[in-house]
Amino acid sequence: MKVAFYPGCVSKGGCPELYPATVKICEKLGIELDELEGASCTGSGVLQEKDRLLGDVLNARTFAMAEQKNLPIMTICSTCQGVMAQANKRLTDPDHPEYLEEVNTFLKDEGLEYKGTTVIKHILWILVEDFGVEQVKSSFVRKLNDLKLAPFYGCYIVRPSWALDFEDNPDRQQSLEMLIEAVGATVVDFEGKTRCCGFPILTINEKNSVSMVAKHTSTVQELGADAMVTPCPLCHLNLDGYQPKARKQSGISIHMPILHLPQLIGLALGFSPADMGLERHIISTDAITKALKESNPV
């Protein structure tokens, strides 16, 4: 399978371990990456705060680039995925074709035009839908059956449902759990899995943001989780990077490693923790590495 790869800013910025981990697992799984070099930021919902049309124009530009290549876009961030999906719904609204026309007038100078055909999928959905759990599993060489893992989706890949096509793709709402089971680990289910990590208000109301980190990480710790798994690097930034502050603020001694989804898949595919950049996390992943040593080959 070939995709137009949209890595997003964070996989090369605040979570630099995510980009190489993704490239490695895609190579192994046979996902050919054609990176969208000239694509802009999605606006991540912040730009849309000020000007929704502006955000939609920027995203239409990216969709047009993928359309020219005749490839689906693959994202690796819940926020990028959600913001793009919302934009694409507005741009392809059959009741308002004039909107796409208006948006396209801003792309003309660059010689671009979006026709409305681009499909946008997070790697999480590609693995579950385009590959299918069984096929992904057939590439695994390690069984991580000693691990108990809690899913954490990130807001925009679960809300708003009008943008996410759950009716046609009902697995999307369990996709993370399905992959945790596929690697042989046990799912630690909790209601917080679809809540907010707090990242968007980190620099605005740090106390509340950090309270969210403390709440989710301590809840799954109490439920016996060894780590959390997330398809969203922004959630990772907060849950991992601000866990030391969460520990201090809440007075609870939390230690909860946070894995990017591609890292988890990579470990099952046989990559070493170093290959997956696990040593670059703020919260030590030693317990995972140890469990890995004791894990069984498939």
Partner 1 sequence: MKVKLDVGRFNPESEGDKSFRQEFDLEVEEYYTVLDALMQVRDYEDPSLAMRCSCRASICGSCAMKINGTSGLGCNTKIVDVIKKDGTVKVDPAGNLPVVKDLVVDMEPFWSKVREIKPFLQTKGPEPQDEYIAPQQAMLDLVKPVGCIMCGACVSDCTVLEVDSNFIGPAALAKASRFIDDPRDEMNAERFAQLNQYTGVWDCTRCMACVEVCPKGVAPMDRIMTIRDQIINAGIKNTNGARHAEGFASIVKRYGTLDETQLVIKTFGVLNPIVALKNIKALFGLLPVAYRALRKNKLPPVFHHKIAGVSYIKNIFKKLGA
Calculate the alpha carbon distances from 92 to 81, 86, 101, 114, 287 in Å: 16, 10, 10, 10, 47
Total number of residues that touch partner 1 (CB under 8 A): 60
- Is residue 47 a contact residue for partner 1 (CB under 8 A)? yes
Task: Between 1 and 53, name the residue whose CB sits nearer to partner 1.
Answer: 53
Task: Between 63 and 156, name the residue whose CB sits nearer to partner 1.
Answer: 156
- Cβ of residue 82: shortest distance to partner 1, in angstroms? 8
- Is residue 100 a contact residue for partner 1 (CB under 8 A)? no
Task: Between 247 and 268, name the residue whose CB sits nearer to partner 1.
Answer: 247
Cα separation, 280 vs 275, in Å, equals 11
By CB under 8 A, name the one of 3, 10, 123, 227 that touches partner 1.
10
- Is residue 72 a contact residue for partner 1 (CB under 8 A)? no
Cα separation, 177 vs 194, in Å, equals 12
- Cβ of residue 256: shortest distance to partner 1, in angstroms? 16
According to DSSP, the β-strands at 148-151 and 2-6 are: unpaired
By CB under 8 A, name the one of 115, 279, 286, 296 that touches partner 1.
279
Task: Between 135 and 205, name the residue whose CB sits nearer to partner 1.
Answer: 205
x/- letters, 223..252, toward partner 1 (CB under 8 A):
------------------xx-xx-------
Task: Between 142 and 215, name the residue whose CB sits nearer to partner 1.
Answer: 215
Those residues whose C-beta lies under 8 Å from the C-beta of residue 106, and which sit 6 or more positions away, are: 57
Task: Between 46 and 298, name the residue whose CB sits nearer to partner 1.
Answer: 46
Cα separation, 69 vs 121, in Å, equals 16
Task: Between 143 and 215, name the residue whose CB sits nearer to partner 1.
Answer: 215
x/- letters, 122..161, toward partner 1 (CB under 8 A):
---------------------------------xx--xxx
Nearest to 157 by CA among 235, 226, 71: 235
By CB under 8 A, name the one of 24, 61, 90, 121 that touches partner 1.
61
E strands along the chain, which residues?
2-6, 32-35, 73-75, 120-122, 142-143, 148-151, 186-187, 227-230, 258-260, 296-297
According to DSSP, the β-strands at 296-297 and 142-143 are: antiparallel
Sign of CA dihedral 175, 179, 182, 184: negative
- Is residue 262 a contact residue for partner 1 (CB under 8 A)? no
Strand order in the sheet with 186-187: 186-187, 148-151, 227-230, 258-260
Cα separation, 220 vs 157, in Å, equals 20
Task: Between 61 and 172, name the residue whose CB sits nearer to partner 1.
Answer: 61
- Is residue 191 a contact residue for partner 1 (CB under 8 A)? yes
Alpha-helix residue ranges (DSSP H) falling in 70-105: 78-91, 97-105
Cα separation, 268 vs 292, in Å, equals 9
- Is residue 35 a contact residue for partner 1 (CB under 8 A)? no
Binding residues vs partner 1 (CB under 8 A): 9-10, 12-17, 37-41, 43-51, 53-54, 57-58, 61, 106, 109-110, 155-156, 159-161, 191, 195-196, 198-201, 203-209, 211-212, 215, 241-242, 244-245, 279-282
